[in-house]
Amino acid sequence: MTWNLPNILTLLRLLAAPGVAIMFLYFSRPYADWFALVLFVTAAITDFVDGYLARAWKQESKFGAMLDPIADKAMVIIALLVITGFSGMNPWILLPATVIMFREVFVSGLREFLGDTAGTLKVTNLAKWKTTVQMVALAVLFAKGAFEHFLIEQTVGMDQAMMDDIIAGVIPDEIGLGWKWLGWNISWYGGIVLLWIAAFLTFVTGWDYFRKAMPYLRGAK
């Protein structure tokens, strides 16, 4: 175990993963959504910082190489569980989340099976893009939860006609309903599109790893 700044950042990212879920145990919404969003984004940034520092300072280690993908997978899977739960098992969220979680577990199993030959499944540039899109999608969906609950709180007692008139500008928007409604729409639809793109990249990279592992699975090597 090599303790340097890149590895410490990676460890903090791993510890932040369950922290995202814990936010919803100790804080009410929408504050839990915002705190989870800030924690998730901060942790995601360390994913780029620790790798850059490790290469720049020549502090790459086996410990860091082992811990980094574990931290990434923990962040993504726990965030997916939280978002899927609070989305009411919406199929537009549930289906891509299932693809992503299945692939992560499957590839981890492949690496464990391959043992000393797991270097065959080196992380590709496409896999790095996959992780990036996953994290961006999840951050956007956390923002959606915050916008949604601000809207719910501020429209108590309003009927749909009044809300439509405020958003359309017929009634003065004194509570900022318009920009919150816009933020909700952008984060909801944008988050779903990004999550499906992430699921597609996840499937493609998972298939690529499976194809590379096939000779070993057949016992040919």
pTM of the full predicted structure?
0.83
Q: How far is CA 85 from CA 24, 73, 79, 183, 204, in A?
A: 11, 18, 10, 21, 26
Of 36, 107, 34, which is closest to residue 73 (Cα–Cα)? 107
Domain positions in the chain are: 5-217
DSSP string covering 135-151: HHHHHHHHHHHHHHHHH
Contact predicate 11/67, CB 8 Å: yes
Contact predicate 165/173, CB 8 Å: no
Check whether the bond before 30 is cis (ω within 30° of 0). yes
Alpha helices by DSSP H, 28-124? 31-56, 62-86, 91-114
Digit-by-digit pLDDT tens for the chain (221 residues) are 667 787 888 888 899 889 989 998 888 877 888 888 999 999 888 888 887 777 777 777 777 777 888 888 899 999 999 999 888 889 999 999 999 999 988 888 887 777 666 555 677 788 888 888 999 999 999 888 888 877 777 666 666 777 766 776 667 766 677 777 788 889 899 999 999 999 999 999 988 888 887 877 776 55
pLDDT digits (tens, 9 = 90+) for 53-85: 777 777 777 777 778 888 888 999 999 999 998
Q: Tell me, which fold does domain 5-217 have in CATH? A: Four Helix Bundle (Hemerythrin (Met), subunit A) (1.20.120)
